[in-house]
Amino acid sequence: MDRNLIKRFTHFLAVVEEGHFGRAAARLGMSQPPLTAQIQMLERALGVKLLERTRQGARPTWEGEVLLPAVRRLEESALAVEALAREVKLGRRELVNIGCITSAMLKTLPPVIRAYRKQRPETVIAVRELDTSDAIEALRRGEIDIAFARLERDRFPIRIAPLATDRLVVALPDSDPLAAEDQIDIAALQDRPLVMLPRAISPAYFDGMVAACRVAGFAPVPAREVNSAMAQLALVASGLGVALVSSGMAMLAPPGVAFRPLLQRVEAVGVAVAWNSERENPICREIVQIARDIAVEQG
């Protein structure tokens, strides 16, 4: 990747938003001619014209329009990093806040909450659905006290207790020929478009899935990326691809989707309960213990 292009994409966005090279330059704190030069360099590097220039200013070409949403997300990611860095520099809760990934929401969490509630009926329990990476971050910042997420090791100050191993299963459109089989050889997915979650959302899921495909001799080709496990299932139901998902998702019975186990028993990183050791308190300890006990009972 040519990293010098990254900044230029944000310049492109400024011009689109201002619709005018001069005003965009002012906003970026520079003069107009070098901004023109940067946009032209970007266009040359991509081999695509991104802006139509008129006397009334500039507006995106069709190609520019297609790129725009992704460029916006890049800008927002950069702003998010910047904002987070500011907060980290400054360094700073109640009740028990639990974060939980989608696939643990209906399988792992309810029995834990039921048991905890028997012991501590007066504690307020708040639950948020979060993906693994957001859950880790929320633990660090003290926004949640406990997380149920797909993690395999401690990372100071986050401590974990593994609750279960997990397996990957195939989610298919129920009209798919492969759905007629009881089990599916992972190699059969070689040329199939895969609906995947980005690595950032759940690194363990992503790495486990990539590793399993590689062992079978191919690199998974992401046909689509989506931002949630539910969206993954929706695209499968829409016929846009198949997905390797955790077995926890098979507890849902969404119409249009068939779940099939893999012929190869592909272990995935299971759900663990996690907490921030710097913010450990009796409630945390109790919930963690309950989660462990239940995991042992369930084998």
Partner DNA sequence: GCCCGGTGATAGGAAAATCGTATCACCATG
Partner DNA sequence: CATGGTGATACGATTTTCCTATCACCGGGC
Binding site for DNA (CB under 7 A): 4, 7, 20-22, 25, 29-41, 53, 55-58
Q: Which is nearer to a copy of itself, 5 or 187 (by Cβ)?
A: 5
* Footprint on residues 247-266 left by a copy of itself (CB under 8 A): 251-256
Burial class (CB in 10 A: 0-12, 13-18, 19+), 299: exposed
Q: Which is nearer to DNA, 40 or 133 (by Cβ)?
A: 40
Residue from the set 20, 22, 23, 125 that interacts with a copy of itself by CB under 8 A: 125
Q: Which is nearer to a copy of itself, 131 or 184 (by Cβ)?
A: 131
Which one of a copy of itself, DNA, none interacts with residue 157, CB within 5 to 8 A by kind? a copy of itself
The count of residues interacting with a copy of itself (CB under 8 A) is 90
Is 18 a binder of a copy of itself (CB under 8 A)? no
Segment interacting with a copy of itself, rule: CB under 8 A, options 111-119, 164-172, 267-275, 290-298: 111-119
CB of 64 to DNA, least distance (A): 13
CB of 44 to a copy of itself, least distance (A): 12
CB 77 within 8 Å of CB 85: no
CB of 52 to a copy of itself, least distance (A): 12
Is 68 a binder of a copy of itself (CB under 8 A)? yes
Which one of DNA, a copy of itself, none interacts with residue 105, CB within 5 to 8 A by kind? a copy of itself
